[in-house]
Structure 1
Amino acid sequence: MLSIGLPGLILIVLVVLLLFGPSRLPRLGRSIGDTLHELKHATRDLREDGEPEQASGSTNETKRSRP
């Protein structure tokens, strides 16, 4: 498993600062946060959509197996 220590995190922060600059970091952080929020919302919707189908599918199978 990948583990990043404190020196690795400091290096990543410095590289991000050099690439994007301090003025664009708030916008970058906000866009990353929005993207993660949309991803979580989409995965939650997919899970909720899949659960009723599985539950109704199992009850239909039990009804069909009875004569």
Structure 2
Amino acid sequence: MNFQPILLGVLGTQEIIIIAIIILLLFGGRKIPELMKGLGKGIREFNDAKNTVRKEIEESSTETPQNKQ
């Protein structure tokens, strides 16, 4: 028996169109801009938090043990 691996995350044009139609049917044309706005805010907040943590790590790694006292 020859099993082909399932490739998750690989979407073709047809799959993307089907997903877009389903989203349009579920949320309607008026709710999609609100949904995208909320998604954009969430991504922006995530990136801000990621950058803050990265900055804190870089600052703490550049401190010498004498400066920490």
Q: The TM-score by the shorter chain falls in which range? A: 0.7 to 0.9
Aligned length: 59
Q: Which residue, out of 22, 30, 52, partners 2:59?
A: 52
Runs of 5+ unmatched residues, structure 2: 1-6
Please identify which structure carries the higher helix content. Answer: 1
Structure 1 length-normalised TM: 0.78
Percent of residue pairs bearing the same amino acid type: 28
- Divergent runs of 4+, >2 A: none
Q: Aligned Cα RMSD in Å?
A: 1.6
Runs of 5+ unmatched residues, structure 1: 61-67
Q: Which residue, out of 24, 36, 41, partners 1:17?
A: 24
User: Structure 1 residue 54: deviation in Å?
Assistant: 1.4
